[in-house]
Amino acid sequence: MADPSQQNILIIGGGIGGLTLALSLHARGIKCSIFEAASKFEPLGVGINMLPHAIKVLSKLNLETELYRYGVEAQEFAYFNRHGQVIITEPCGKFAGYDYPHFSIHRGDLHKVLYDAVIDRMGPNSIYFNHSCSGVTQNDRTVKALFENTESHTGSVVIAADGFHSNIRKSLYPHEGEPHYGGINMWRGVTIQKPFLTGASVTRIGTVDAGKMTIYPIRNFADGTQMINWVTEQPRSDFKKNDWATVGHIEDFIGPFKKWNFDWLDIPNLINNAEFILEYPMLDRDPIDKWTFGRVTLMGDAAHPMYPRGGNGGAQAILDADSLANNFEKYKSQVRAINTYENERRTIANKIVLTNRQQPPDHIIEKVETLTNGLPFDKIEDVINREELLAITERYKNIAQYSIEKVSN
């Protein structure tokens, strides 16, 4: 076991991955500090799906009760064609026999659960706000994190959890260039309305070329309504460097959905009654073959930025945190720990990056769209059998490491 008494791990970034890592290290008695560029905690973003493999980690940190308080426990995945016809439904989380639930939750609520736990367990002095890391220097015994407009901090290792636009990754890969743009823009929003389907369905409809929506509830209200998260992806040739808070406009994307008034959900009404709409391009970066440089390693979006499909961006950051914490506990040498972590996680995460470009979970809908030439069907069994459909979804679960067998180990 490592003796953490003389070591301090510097976590750069207070997002989902960084906070999960801090809680995981604290639970093992390993000293760490968090450095966040923002001036304070703010509940940003929209919805996020937390799959059972991620919830397994958060449950070990005794956070499941709070997740039930804020989120919606998902019951099923439901796939529909653009005509509103069901292709397949399959249970998820505990409803599918997993030991752990699947939560759909507002990203800000998830962040709040993690942040509140850090403050409660580690104290307010564990997080340094207004600390934007500009780079690192290191020798064979220590590493120094450099910050803009404030003093540097020295520790035993640095974990770069500073997100998609990581300054530390940029310092390690100065010639990497712009992110990879796949020609797709996303518009995301939330709408308060009555539940649809089971009231706990993660629903995917249509394809990118003909109109695609992903819709699921992320918060329950006492009056019986829900906050419904929705996102559309559409082809665009004009890449704009939007940030995560760029205001979206309905007229830019409503076209394919004007007649999507299904008997189970009125999608034009859902869009037109949104509380707000955000627009940003779907970006990732090409996988890299090295995360760890001496006493510095990357995690989460700093290591493997991926398209936000299948609930895997936040989930993979949480799995990174768990792997790091396990290895810090296992090895006396923290350098050995971060190298072992990379060996465990890099190949898996890089494969998910590439899979999310080509065959995300809703590839199942694209398959049916091709087989039917985009036309309605009489019976899905006449198009493709259930076993073939389930094989497609199971393939993605195996790649993303959340098959029921993998999570049960």
**For every one of its 409 residues, what pLDDT tens digit does the chain have, with 9 covering 90 and above?**
333 335 799 999 999 999 999 999 999 999 999 999 999 988 777 899 999 999 999 999 999 999 999 999 999 999 999 999 999 999 999 999 999 999 999 999 999 999 999 999 999 999 999 999 999 999 999 999 999 989 999 999 999 999 999 999 999 999 999 898 888 899 999 999 999 999 999 999 999 999 999 999 999 999 999 999 999 999 887 666 555 678 999 999 999 999 999 999 999 999 999 999 999 888 899 999 999 999 999 999 999 999 888 778 899 999 999 999 999 999 999 999 999 999 999 999 999 999 888 877 788 999 999 999 999 999 999 999 999 999 988 888 888 878 888 887 7
Structural domain harbouring 262: 180-284+359-405
User: Is residue 47 in some structural domain?
Assistant: yes
User: Is residue 60 in some structural domain?
Assistant: no
Helix H, strand E, coil C: the string for the chain is CCCHHHCCEEEECCCHHHHHHHHHHHHCCCCEEEECCCCCCCCCCCEEEECHHHHHHHHHCCCHHHHHHHCEECCEEEEECCCCCEEEEEECHHHHCCCCCCEEEEHHHHHHHHHHHHHHHHCHHHEECCCCEEEEEECCCCEEEEECCCCCEEECEEEECCCCCCHHHHHHCCCCCCCEEEEEEEEEEEEEECCCCCCCEEEEEEECCCEEEEEEEEEECCCCCEEEEEEEEEECCCCCCCCCCCECCHHHCCHHHCCCECCCCEHHHHHHCCCEEEEEEEEECCCCCCCCECCEEECHHHCCCCCCCCCCHHHHHHHHHHHHHHHHHHCCCHHHHHHHHHHHHHHHHHHHHHHHHHCCCCHHHHHHHHHHCCCCCCCHHHCCCHHHHHHHHHHHHHHCCCCHHHHHC
User: Is residue 71 in some structural domain?
Assistant: no
Q: What is the pTM of this model?
A: 0.94
Q: Are residues 36 and 174 in the same domain?
A: yes
Q: Are residues 270 and 364 in the same domain?
A: yes
Q: Are residues 352 and 364 in the same domain?
A: no
Q: Are residues 268 and 200 in the same domain?
A: yes
User: Is residue 266 in some structural domain?
Assistant: yes
The CATH number given to whatever domain includes residue 318 is 3.50.50.60
Q: Are residues 205 and 270 in the same domain?
A: yes
User: Is residue 320 in some structural domain?
Assistant: yes
Q: Are residues 223 and 343 in the same domain?
A: no
Q: Are residues 157 and 38 in the same domain?
A: yes
Q: Are residues 138 and 208 in the same domain?
A: no
Q: Are residues 113 and 12 in the same domain?
A: yes
How many domains does the chain divide into? 2
Q: Are residues 194 and 323 in the same domain?
A: no
Look at residues 338, 358, 378 and tell me which one is the last residue of a structural domain: 358
User: Is residue 89 in some structural domain?
Assistant: no
